[in-house]
C-alpha cells in the first residue's frame, strides 16, 4: 500500500526531466545535455528525435523530425498514449507516485550545455566520389556552384568549453550563403547525423531571379537543386527543414514577386503535415511525389526524365488548384 506522503497531487511536483527519462526509458539522467534517439512514434534506423534544454523556457523539450511531433514533456505523454490534457496529467502523477514510493532519486541538477558552433573549416577540391554522389540525383557541378555547395576537408567545432576537430572519412559538404557564410554541414553517408545546422538561412533565397511566375518551396536544398536541374519554368527555395515554416513576413514579400507559391514536400508523415501547415497557416497549396519519399530519391531510382514527366502533371495540378 502506498503511503499518503508519497501521493503526488500537483503536477508541479513532477520533474520535467523525470517525465522524459521515464516514458522514453532513457539510458542516462538528463542534466543539461542534448540527446538524440530513435523516434518513439515511427520505426527508423537513424535517430531523428532530439531532446534539448530550452533555456528560454527553463525546461527540456523534444522534437521528432521523422514524425514532425514536438513540444513539452506533457505533449510527449499525450501523444504516446493518445490522452487529453487532463488524462495526461493524471497518468504522470499516478506513475510518479509509484516511483516515489520506491524511494528512487528524482532530482538532478541541470547545467545547460552550450551549443557548438563552427570555429574553422577547410574546403577541398572536388573528387570523383562527389560526382558519383550528386549525379545520381541529376545534380551537376553547375547546380552545386550556383547554390554554393562546397566539399569540406576539415572543420572544427567549439562550445566555449570543448573543441572538436573533424577530418571526415566520408564525403561531407558545406552549404554556404553567397557572401561566404557557412550555414549548414551535410554528411549524406553519416548514419548518426547527416546535418549540422550552423545558422538560420532560407536555402535558395539568394539565387532567386524573380523571372518566373511560380515559386516552389521544397523540403530540402537537394530537392530544390533536383527541381532546378529539370529545367521547369519556376524558381525554388527550401527552409531549414519541413518542420521549419518560413516566416509570414518573408512569404508576404515573395507573394508580391510571384503569381503563385506552392510547396513540394516529402511523401511521409512529416512532409504531409508540413503541407497541411502551410495550407492552413499561409494559404499555400502543396503536393508530394507519389511513389518515393522525395524527388531526389525518385530521380536516383527512376531517372530524371521519368520523374520530370510525373512532376509536370503534379505541379500543374497543384498550381491550378483553387
CA 6 to CA 97: how far, in whole Å?
A: 6
**More reliable by pLDDT, 98 or 148:** 148
Q: How confident is the model at residue 105 (pLDDT cuts 50, 70, 90)?
A: low
pLDDT tens for residues 252-268?
999 999 999 999 999 98
Judge if 233 and 305 occupy the same domain: yes
313 and 231 within one domain? yes
Which of these ranges, 20-24, 108-112, 157-161, 273-277, has the smallest mean pLDDT? 108-112
Q: How many domains does the chain fold into?
A: 3
Residue 299 in domain: yes
Average pLDDT, the chain: 90
Assess whether 228 and 275 both reside in one domain. Answer: yes
Query: 78, 68, 80: which is closest to 272 by C-alpha?
Result: 68
In a domain, 121, yes or no: yes
Q: Identify the CATH number of the domain in which residue 322 sits.
A: 3.40.1360.10
Judge whether residue 153 has pLDDT over 80: yes
Residue 110 pLDDT grade (very low, low, confident, very high; cuts 50, 70, 90): low
Domain final position from 201, 224, 255: 201
Q: What is the pLDDT of residue 1?
A: 46
Q: Which residue has the cell 499555400?
A: 284
| Residue 220: domain span | 202-322
Identify whether residues 178 and 269 lie together within a single domain.
no
Shared-domain flag, residues 310 and 258? yes
Distances in Å between the Cα of 43 and the Cα atoms of 47, 262, 267 are: 10, 29, 16
Q: Give the per-residue pLDDT at 269.
A: 83
- Residue 110 located in a structural domain: no
Picking from 4-8, 46-50, 78-82, 178-182, which range would have the lowest pLDDT averaged per residue? 4-8
Q: Last residue of a domain, which of 201, 236, 271?
A: 201
> Alpha-carbon distance 191 to 36, whole Å?
12
35 beta partners:
51
pLDDT of 192 > 80? The answer is no
Question: Is pLDDT at 46 greater than 50 in this prediction?
Answer: yes
Are 77 and 147 contained in the same domain? Answer: no
Q: What is the predicted pLDDT for the residue at 308?
A: 96
Q: Is 105 exposed, middle or buried (0-12, 13-18, 19+ CB in 10 A)?
A: exposed
Q: How many residues does the chain have?
A: 322
Model-level pTM?
A: 0.75
Does the pLDDT value for residue 2 go beyond 60?
no
**Whether residues 40 and 128 fall in one domain:** no
Could you give the percent of the chain with pLDDT greater than 70?
94
Amino acid at each position: 500500500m502506498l503511503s499518503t506522503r508519497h501521493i503526488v497531487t500537483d503536477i508541479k511536483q513532477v520533474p520535467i526531466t523525470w517525465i522524459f527519462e521515464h516514458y522514453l526509458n532513457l539510458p542516462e539522467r538528463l542534466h543539461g545535455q542534448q540527446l538524440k534517439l530513435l523516434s518513439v512514434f515511427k520505426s527508423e534506423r537513424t535517430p531523428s528525435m532530439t531532446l534539448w534544454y530550452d533555456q528560454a523556457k527553463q525546461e527540456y523539450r523534444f522534437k521528432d523530425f521523422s514524425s514532425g511531433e514536438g513540444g513539452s514533456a506533457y505533449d510527449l505523454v499525450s501523444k504516446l498514449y493518445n490522452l487529453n490534457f487532463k488524462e495526461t496529467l493524471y497518468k504522470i502523477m499516478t506513475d510518479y507516485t509509484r516511483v516515489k514510493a520506491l524511494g528512487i532519486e528524482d532530482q538532478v541538477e541541470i547545467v545547460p550545455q552550450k551549443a557548438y558552433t563552427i570555429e574553422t573549416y577547410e574546403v577541398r577540391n572536388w573528387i570523383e566520389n562527389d560526382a558519383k554522389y550528386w549525379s545520381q540525383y541529376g545534380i551537376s557541378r553547375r547546380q552545386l556552384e550556383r547554390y554554393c555547395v562546397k566539399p569540406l576537408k576539415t572543420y572544427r567545432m567549439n562550445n566555449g568549453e570543448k573543441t572538436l576537430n573533424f577530418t571526415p572519412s566520408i564525403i561531407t559538404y558545406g552549404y554556404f550563403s553567397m557572401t561566404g557564410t557557412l550555414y549548414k554541414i551535410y554528411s549524406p553517408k553519416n548514419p548518426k547525423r547527416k546535418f549540422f545546422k550552423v545558422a538560420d538561412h532560407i536555402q535558395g533565397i539568394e539565387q532567386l531571379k524573380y523571372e518566373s511566375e511560380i515559386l516552389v518551396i521544397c523540403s530540402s536544398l537537394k530537392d530544390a537543386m533536383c527541381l532546378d536541374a529539370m529545367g521547369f519554368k519556376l524558381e525554388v527555395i527550401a527552409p531549414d527543414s519541413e518542420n521549419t515554416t518560413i516566416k509570414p513576413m518573408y512569404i508576404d514579400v515573395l507573394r508580391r514577386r510571384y503569381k503563385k507559391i506552392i510547396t513540394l514536400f516529402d511523401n511521409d508523415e512529416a512532409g504531409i503535415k508540413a503541407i497541411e501547415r502551410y495550407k492552413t497557416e499561409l494559404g499555400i497549396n502543396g503536393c508530394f511525389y507519389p511513389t518515393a519519399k522525395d524527388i531526389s530519391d525518385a530521380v536516383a531510382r527512376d531517372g530524371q526524365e521519368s520523374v520530370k514527366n510525373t512532376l509536370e502533371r503534379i505541379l500543374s495540378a497543384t498550381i491550378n488548384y483553387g
